[in-house]
């Protein structure tokens, strides 16, 4: 079928399904009037004190989900009071069957069972808000809301207090929120935006005080209003949280290695703090931060050359990260380009870039991570709508200690480095127009000049404009980068996997070994519709289309994250969402996507079309499926810079099913399969998760994933030279991966939890049927490669020898690329918040990594079991105590 006709049919389907939308009724913005507290409130979860009688109950909630606009199954009421230091909130959650209230426990920010929540737009900027949630079991959750409800950041952890109580009428809650934890202007009479939400777990129903239709595509901008706040004083928030950590490591002793004696001990201390400079702006700082209790990264190995992306888990960097988040694309269609960031905080404190050069008989002790001497960030939002974020961090000069027969020397593996990020955004017209900018820099002292840039800078400008009640938008950005360094460092960047200036046939780039700097640019423009009028079934049409580009010299990886440069990507997404129950569905959605890609020479690289659908059924099961057709694919990276390579076209399909998540035991099953045309590629991935909460305090998650990927003949192995001719060796590869993950959480109280995490992992790529690339862009798959016949290639002592001209002499060799990577990571954490904001951690972590080359023919599960729990495991025991001083 002609591609143009295919697009016409798809878009016709969406538009005809979205016809006949009636005009939505006008929704009146609600108002709640509070007053200053007179008397005292005993925070016990029961709003029975006389002081509460000074204000009326707010109520008249409306169902938000699933039957938007209808009356909720159970009504909810609330009251709000304040004094010079605190905001007080009382809830009455009516329930005609109190014995059926779901009181599941969980860690902070897990939002288990029945809960009530208040969102407070104290800036009253119609874009950002602070969220406070308490479950019927007393578990607290807090989030910072940004981008008008499109981003909810659970990393924000303010100090506040909550208690709950269950009675014959349902359940009640009392919240006590220090005003120092909020941000607000200095007007005498303040108006804040508020929203109150209740989750009625048994029916998985959400109801809200201020009704906001799901099709509106907005959240904070449609909040109701809180009036009556008068003469609230400025609270200069001052928090200091010193910590002390004691750690002991136990591991297998290595004979002869003076740095591997079998055990190590260490005691360290540091300090975290916050100081409110004004009501709007806050300074966070940390000295010698400790991240010992943070959960380990999931195991991940890639053989395609691209770098792995790992989520930030360190508290200092994840709190207020919304201000510093600067995605280069961020499309609704999704794609690899969405991972590109101008600021990727994992670069700070990462593993050292250098490696010591060892002679025979030498041993080295190399730091696993670069130490952060200190970091500070200044962030907030002024009453005039100006958001500010400034972050600076200094990492220590790191040296490897090298020993030869008790004679020691040191070698630099990471220079002293300063990282800086500055971010501003200005709201106009009540947040309907936003203009922003960002600058970043990395400055290193002398050292490792052949490896690292001396200086790296990037910056960008961005804009966002809404219209028609914020249902339509256009947004975009343009960024630039400039890196400086020695000729050797800049040559390394030009020939790195992300750039590959040496690629044959690339008319748009060329290697220049005399350069000492590179300057690049990138950008994105997106146009779309996120809400609007609905049809009879609550269906709403949404879409987005856009273009994103990265010039060949763009380089972000000193402080950002970038998979590859030299790309121009087009994307389009359209979806119909049925938001009200009909037939067997509670809700459903259908989506269409397509993608196209070019490089800067104009070479067409990629095209794909996708259709996917998702549904929640009346029995609360969920299911979805998707089909992707990839008719054209050329990779500029697959051969690591030797030339472009045409990859086989193919088709992929995914399916998932999740049983009723309200049950104490539920399952998720998912599978993805891909088939390449010409019988050239196959991929199969199967996953199963079991989530059980046999009683309120215990939650168990067990999951397993198995994948098998096979490529015929086109997996890169190595580049070799023969008689001034370059040969790019490729081969058939079969990679099997097996991963298990277990999480167990036991909640003794909402503030005292015991959690275990463990993940055994194995991946094994095996190579065969080697060839060299002869015509990489040939239309016929088999014409792209010239296979070695049995008489030309032989294997001995771990290497392959190739005799192309059959003269009995080896023309070149290459190592056996097979490997068997096994890793086990786990930790057991007891966390006790013994005082608001103050914590005690007891941690046992265990890790083991093995490259079990001798077991390439052993069954995958057996090899995983034999190596993941072997005696070479490293055990770490840690005690950490923090005390948070709050003024």
Q: What is the CATH number of domain 3-230?
A: 2.60.40.1190
Per-residue buried b or exposed e for 66-105, using 16+ beta carbons within 10 Å of the residue's own CB: bbbbeebebbbbbbbbbbeebbbbbbbbbbeeeeebbbbb
CB distance 489 to 452 below 8 Å: yes
Residue 161 pairs with which residues in a beta bridge? 176
- Look at residue 25 in the predicted model and tell me its pLDDT: 56
Which 3-state string (H, E, C) describes 122-162? Answer: CCCCCCCEEEEEEECCCCEEEEEEEHHHCEEECCCCCCCEE
Between 887 and 850, the more confident residue is 850
In this structure, what token pair is assigned to residue 66? Answer: 């699933």
Which CA distances in Å does 383 have to 119, 430, 456, 605? Answer: 19, 12, 34, 48
Beta carbons within 8 Å of 378's beta carbon, 6+ residues apart? 277, 281, 282, 283, 284, 388, 389, 390, 391
Beta carbons within 8 Å of 780's beta carbon, 6+ residues apart? none
**Cβ neighbours, 10 Å, residue 562:** 24
**Cβ neighbours, 10 Å, residue 122:** 24
Q: For the sheet containing 76-82, what is the strand order?
A: 35-36, 76-82, 86-94, 170-178, 161-167
Q: Among all chains, which residue has been given the structure tokens 């792209």?
A: 784
Domain spans, the chain = 3-230
Beta carbons within 8 Å of 856's beta carbon, 6+ residues apart? 764, 766, 818, 820
pTM of the entire predicted model: 0.90
- Look at residue 3 in the predicted model and tell me its pLDDT: 52
Per residue in 709-749, pLDDT (tens digit) is: 999 889 999 999 888 888 999 999 999 999 999 999 999 99
H-assigned helices in 410-472: none
- Look at residue 533 in the predicted model and tell me its pLDDT: 78
Beta carbons within 8 Å of 757's beta carbon, 6+ residues apart? 295, 296, 741, 742, 743, 826, 827
- Look at residue 14 in the predicted model and tell me its pLDDT: 46
- Look at residue 207 in the predicted model and tell me its pLDDT: 97
Residue 248 has pLDDT above 50, yes or no: yes
Q: Among all chains, which residue has been given the structure tokens 């070799």?
A: 720
- Look at residue 184 in the predicted model and tell me its pLDDT: 85
DSSP 57: P
Which DSSP string do the residues of 825-857 spell out, in sequence order?
Answer: EEEEEEEEEEETTEEEEEEEEEEEEEE-GGGTT
Residue 760 has pLDDT above 80, yes or no: yes
Per residue in 815-832, pLDDT (tens digit) is: 999 999 999 999 999 999
**Cβ neighbours, 10 Å, residue 729:** 23
Per residue in 69-128, pLDDT (tens digit) is: 999 999 999 999 999 999 999 999 999 999 999 999 998 899 999 999 999 999 898 888
Residue 5 has pLDDT above 60, yes or no: no
Min mean pLDDT across 132-141, 427-436, 519-528 is at: 427-436
Q: How far apart are CA 545 and CA 593, in angstroms?
A: 9
Average pLDDT of the residues of the chain:
91
Residue 136 has pLDDT above 70, yes or no: yes
Q: How far apart are CA 775 and CA 772, in angstroms?
A: 9
Q: In 3D, which of 321, 239, 263, 347 has the Cα closest to residue 874?
A: 263
Residue 536 has pLDDT above 90, yes or no: no
Q: How far apart are CA 595 and CA 548, in angstroms?
A: 11
Mean pLDDT of 51-61: 96
CA-CA-CA-CA dihedral for 288, 294, 300, 301, to nearest 10 = 30
In this structure, what token pair is assigned to residue 722? Answer: 């023969």
Q: How far apart are CA 701 and CA 681, in angstroms?
A: 33
Residue 122 pairs with which residues in a beta bridge? none
Min mean pLDDT across 11-25, 136-150, 677-691 is at: 11-25
**Cβ neighbours, 10 Å, residue 323:** 24
CB distance 557 to 489 below 8 Å: no
CB distance 114 to 93 below 8 Å: yes
- Look at residue 312 in the predicted model and tell me its pLDDT: 87
Residue 19 has pLDDT above 80, yes or no: no
Peptide bond into 66 cis (omega under 30): yes
Min mean pLDDT across 150-159, 520-529, 645-654 is at: 150-159
Per residue in 216-245, pLDDT (tens digit) is: 888 999 999 999 999 888 777 788 889 999
- Look at residue 702 in the predicted model and tell me its pLDDT: 97
Per residue in 269-294, pLDDT (tens digit) is: 999 888 888 777 888 899 888 765 56
pLDDT > 90: what percent of the chain? 73
CA-CA-CA-CA dihedral for 829, 832, 836, 838, to nearest 10 = -70
């Amino acid at each position: 079928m002609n591609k143009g006709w295919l697009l016409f049919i798809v878009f016709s389907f969406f538009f005809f399904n979205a016809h006949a939308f009636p005009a939505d009724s006008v929704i009146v913005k609600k108002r709640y009037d509070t007053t200053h507290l007179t008397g005292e409130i005993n925070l016990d979860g029961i709003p029975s004190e006389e002081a509460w009688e000074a204000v009326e109950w707010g109520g008249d909630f409306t169902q938000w989900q699933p039957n938007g606009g209808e009356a909720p199954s159970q009504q909810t009421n609330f009251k709000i009071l304040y004094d010079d230091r605190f905001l007080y909130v009382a809830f009455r959650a009516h329930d005609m069957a109190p014995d059926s209230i779901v009181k599941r426990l969980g860690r902070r920010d897990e939002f288990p069972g029945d809960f009530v929540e208040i969102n407070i737009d104290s800036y009253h900027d119609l874009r950002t808000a602070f969220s406070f949630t308490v479950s019927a079991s007393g578990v607290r959750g807090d989030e910072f809301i940004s981008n008008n409800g499109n981003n909810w950041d659970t990393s924000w952890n303010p100090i506040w207090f909550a208690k709950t109580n269950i009675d014959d009428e349902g359940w009640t809650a009392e919240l006590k929120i220090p005003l120092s934890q909020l941000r607000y202007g200095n007007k005498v009479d303040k108006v804040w935006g508020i929203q109150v939400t209740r989750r009625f777990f048994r029916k998985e129903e959400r109801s809200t005080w201020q009704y906001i239709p799901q099709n509106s595509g907005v959240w904070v901008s449609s909040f109701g209003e809180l009036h009556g706040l008068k003469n609230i004083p400025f609270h200069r928030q001052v928090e200091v949280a010193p910590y002390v950590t004691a750690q002991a490591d136990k591991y297998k002793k290595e004979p002869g290695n003076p740095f591997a004696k079998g055990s190590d001990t260490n005691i360290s201390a540091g300090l975290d703090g916050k100081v409110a400079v004004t009501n709007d702006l806050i300074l966070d700082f940390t000295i010698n931060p400790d991240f010992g209790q943070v959960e380990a990264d999931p195991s991940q190995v890639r053989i395609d050359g691209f770098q792995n992306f790992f989520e930030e888990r360190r508290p200092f960097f994840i709190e207020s990260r919304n201000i510093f988040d600067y995605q280069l694309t961020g499309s609704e269609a999704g794609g690899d380009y969405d991972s590109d960031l101008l600021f990727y905080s994992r670069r700070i404190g990462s593993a050292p870039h250098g490696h010591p050069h060892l002679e025979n008989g030498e041993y080295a002790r190399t730091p696993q991570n670069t130490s952060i001497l200190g970091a500070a960030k200044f962030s907030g939002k002024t009453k005039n709508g100006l958001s500010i974020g400034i972050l600076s961090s200094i990492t220590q000069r790191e040296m490897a200690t090298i020993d030869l027969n008790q004679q020691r020397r040191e070698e630099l593996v990471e220079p002293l480095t300063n990282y800086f990020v500055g971010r501003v955004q200005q709201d106009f017209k009540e947040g309907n127009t936003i203009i922003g900018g960002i600058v970043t820099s990395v400055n290193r002292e002398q050292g490792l000049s052949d490896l690292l840039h001396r200086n790296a800078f990037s910056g960008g400008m961005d804009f966002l404009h809404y219209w028609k009640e914020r249902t339509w938008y256009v947004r975009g950005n343009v960024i630039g980068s400039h890196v400086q360094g020695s000729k050797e460092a800049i040559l390394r960047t030009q020939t790195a996997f992300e750039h590959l200036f040496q690629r044959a046939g690339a008319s748009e780039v060329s290697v220049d070994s005399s350069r000492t700097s590179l300057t690049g640019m990138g950008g994105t423009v997106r146009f779309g519709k996120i809400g609007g009028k609905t049809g009879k079934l609550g269906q709403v049409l949404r879409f987005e289309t856009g273009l994103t580009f990265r010039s060949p010299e763009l380089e972000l990886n000193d402080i950002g994250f970038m998979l590859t440069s030299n790309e121009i990507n087009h994307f389009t997404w359209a979806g119909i969402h049925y938001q009200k129950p009909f037939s067997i569905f509670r809700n459903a959605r259908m989506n269409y996507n397509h993608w196209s890609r070019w490089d800067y020479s104009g070479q067409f690289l990629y095209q794909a079309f996708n259709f996917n659908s998702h549904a929640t059924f009346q029995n609360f099961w969920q299911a979805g499926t998707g089909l992707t057709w990839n008719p054209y694919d050329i990779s500029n990276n697959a051969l690591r810079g030797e030339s472009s390579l045409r990859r086989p076209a193919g088709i992929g399909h995914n399916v998932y099913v999740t049983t009723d998540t309200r049950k104490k035991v539920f399952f998720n099953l998912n599978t993805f399969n891909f088939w390449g045309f010409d019988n050239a590629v196959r991929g199969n991935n199967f996953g199963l998760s079991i989530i059980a909460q046999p009683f309120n305090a215990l939650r168990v998650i067990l999951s397993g994933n198995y994948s098998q990927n096979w490529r015929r003949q086109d997996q890169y192995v190595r580049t070799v030279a023969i008689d001034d001719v370059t040969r790019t060796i490729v081969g058939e590869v079969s990679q099997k991966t097996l991963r298990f993950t277990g999480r167990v959480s036991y909640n003794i109280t909402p503030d005292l939890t015991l959690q275990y995490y463990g993940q055994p992992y194995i991946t094994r790529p095996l190579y065969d049927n080697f060839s060299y690339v002869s015509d990489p862009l040939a239309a016929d798959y088999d014409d792209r490669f010239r296979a070695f016949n049995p008489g030309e290639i032989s294997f001995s002592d771990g290497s392959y020898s190739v005799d192309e001209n059959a003269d009995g002499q080896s023309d070149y060799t290459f190592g056996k690329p097979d490997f068997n990577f096994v890793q086990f990571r786990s930790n057991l954490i007891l966390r006790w918040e013994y005082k608001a904001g103050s914590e005690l951690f007891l941690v046992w972590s265990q890790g083991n990594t093995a490259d079990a080359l001798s077991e390439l023919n052993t069954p995958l599960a057996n090899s995983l079991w034999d190596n993941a729990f072997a005696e070479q495991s490293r055990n770490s025991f840690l005690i950490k105590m923090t005390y948070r001083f709050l003024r």
